[in-house]
Amino acid sequence: MKKLIILPTYNEAKNISKTIDVILSLDIELDILVVDDNSPDGTADLVKNNYQDSVTVKVRPKKDGLGSAYVFAFDWALENSYDSIIQMDADLSHDPQEIPAMFELLSDNDLVVGSRYYGGLRVINWPVRRLYISYFANLYARLITGVPIKDLTAGFKAWRADALRTINFNECSSQGYCFQIETAFRAYQKNCKIIEHPITFTDRTVGESKMDRSVVIEAILKVWLFGFWRLFRLKR
């Protein structure tokens, strides 16, 4: 079974090495793909210079959103015959130590969601206000889309290649948090077997978030489109 970890990056020079080091230290055979959007801070060159034998780096010409970085990466993963694919942030918010358990769970699931809100709330370093917003945004998305996942905006996910193939991810045009909701929604619509795996999310201590108001507005509005698809049983 070929395993791949996808790390999308934009200005993660201060986080990427530690992220890669921890992943490489796991006792598990896997490949790593970094999809960088020509970060001005030199993230791509840093990875190319220090990990030329162990990490594949793809550089896109300019910042084009997290969703399109993942569409590019999923295409690459399928073209290169990976069976199990993990997507995760490159800012140490997602603990690489969860990777073995998530791959393990893929043996009898199509999608494993690394979930902050399954069986409690596990977020470190967020102001209470941000936790409330994220938690209630997830509740809102869950009620409208009908997808019974506590953490629909989760960015730490393990996919079986077959599940990725069935969800037509190339048609996803969402960019930020909404991309995560849309892929989970599509997987649920296609009857993928989905499990939530509890994780603790630690907000980045270095660098800045790339999510702005526009991705929040995108998510708030676009979930109604998914609700519409649900209502009229439109399979995507």
The vertex-7 CA angle with 45 and 80, nearest 5°, equals 95
**CB of residue 203 vs ligand GDP: minimum separation in angstroms?**
7
Burial 201-235 (b: 16+ CB within 10 A, else e): bbebeebeebeeeebeebbeebbebbbebbeeeee
Strand partners, 8: 35
Exactly one of 32, 33, 44, 93 binds ligand GDP (CB under 6 A); which one? 93
What residues have CB less than 8 Å from 208, skipping those under 6 apart?
11
**CB of residue 89 vs Mg ion: minimum separation in angstroms?**
5
- The item of ligand GDP, Mg ion, none sharing an interface with residue 211, based on CB under 5 to 8 Å by kind, is ligand GDP
How many of the other CB atoms lie within 10 Å of CB of 128?
8
Exactly one of 4, 5, 12, 51 binds ligand GDP (CB under 6 A); which one? 12
State CA 204 to chain mean position distance. Answer: 15
- The item of Mg ion, ligand GDP, none sharing an interface with residue 69, based on CB under 5 to 8 Å by kind, is ligand GDP
CB closer to Mg ion, 73 vs 144: 73
Q: Which residue reads 């077959």 in tokens?
A: 162
**CB of residue 215 vs ligand GDP: minimum separation in angstroms?**
8
Of residues 36 through 75, those in contact with ligand GDP by CB under 6 A are 36-37, 63-66, 69
Residues that bind ligand GDP (CB under 6 A): 8-10, 12, 35-37, 63-66, 69, 89-91, 93, 204, 209-211
